[in-house]
Structure 1
């Protein structure tokens, strides 16, 4: 005897709800503290002296490739703008997250009035790391990050003029936007945001954060 259609629908709804509540979708519960899997290669930093706050380091290309996030790493991609450099950075973050099986959520600022609220929405998700892509977010981050020192931020393709220890940046001469009325760098080059460089920027920045090398600028002019 077949069950009533109403019962079948109820069972299907229940199954859908259970599927939507899997651990991969729910960030409300606790999870292990993130850690680095693997080690930095020679030339990432000088082993005899850790970089000082706000220092700029120029790691050897590929010296970050051996570092991966531990299972369950939670990342928010915070982005604003639809220019080609921002799109390239967003693609690089998403590709990295897929390759590393990272739990990724995306927060998009709708317009200029939504920049600070977008940062707040990203903070409310309580991720292990917030990755920022888009020059428009530099000044809002400068306002907000100093009040949330327990939250790690990674800015790719730009940097804050006066970062606190929880803000790490990856930059190069073709990017280097710093906000605070300083204007665009004279060396700014949208063409420098290649897929290879953007991918390296994400991986190098995350490797630094996972190894507690934060509050610094990682310079990638070797590409």
Structure 2
């Protein structure tokens, strides 16, 4: 079993499995460009919700070795579906993926994910939304991508992907009245990570992407 595979099998991958990545390295340039209907004109304002055309993100890919930390909390079916989709995307795109499970200490898990020195932190799990809102605004140099939920007031470094049936926002706003765990299908979760990654790689950040 490889070191990475052994780490992925553990409950907290970054603990005892690997040192932090080299922070002096610049993130590699993405491959490809988004299709028509992905980036709106004029450019969206901060915190705006945009509706990219279906599949318009398909032409954008991370470079091989792009470094991603998957930060997750919770064992509900929706969170498991998101985690599986991110892992599948990372394997297909040859992303260097590490995981942090933050079930017991949400803020500590976020800190651990940031300390890893990755290019992007992908966040999956409603339990992390409020803690992330507290931390992310003070670390604008770290890029976050939230899938299947969103922050009530995201800063420029937090991008989110949502759809009808998701859209948990935390901050005392409660669960969306349209929340439906069954909407977290493998297909929709796969689209969410691909659309969100394409936005981050295209410097379209600080917004919410709304997909079908």
Give TM-score, length-normalised by structure 1: 0.85
Whole-angstrom distance in 2 between the partners of 1:53 and 1:89: 25
Aligned to 2:32: 38
Q: Which runs of 5+ in 1 are unaligned?
A: 1-15
> In structure 2, the residue corresponding to 1:69 is in which secondary structure?
coil
Whole-angstrom distance in 1 between the partners of 2:64 and 2:118: 14
From 182, 188, 202, give the equivalent of 1:197. 188
Aligned to 1:80: 73
* CA distances 1:98-153 after superposition (whole Å, capped 9, x unpaired): 00000000000132xx0110001001001100000000000000000001000000
Aligned to 2:153: 162
Aligned to 1:138: 129
Whole-angstrom distance in 1 between the partners of 2:82 and 2:28: 23
Bigger helix fraction? 1
Deviates more, 1:48-57 or 1:202-211: 48-57
From 41, 62, 69, give the equivalent of 2:55. 62
Offset of residue 26 of structure 1 = 5.8
Q: Which runs of 5+ in 2 are unaligned?
A: 7-17
Count residues in correspondence: 197
Whole-angstrom distance in 2 between the partners of 1:120 and 1:26: 15
> In structure 2, the residue corresponding to 1:158 is in which secondary structure?
coil
Give TM-score, length-normalised by structure 2: 0.89
> In structure 1, the residue corresponding to 2:39 is in which secondary structure?
coil
> In structure 2, the residue corresponding to 1:68 is in which secondary structure?
coil
* CA distances 1:133-177 after superposition (whole Å, capped 9, x unpaired): 000000000000001000000000000000000000000120110
- Larger gyration radius, structure 1 or structure 2: 1
Whole-angstrom distance in 2 between the partners of 1:176 and 1:164: 17
Contact residue 21 and residue 118 of structure 2 kept, 8 A: no
Alignment of 1:71-150 (within 5 A): 71-111=64-104, 114-150=105-141
Contact residue 34 and residue 128 of structure 1 kept, 8 A: no
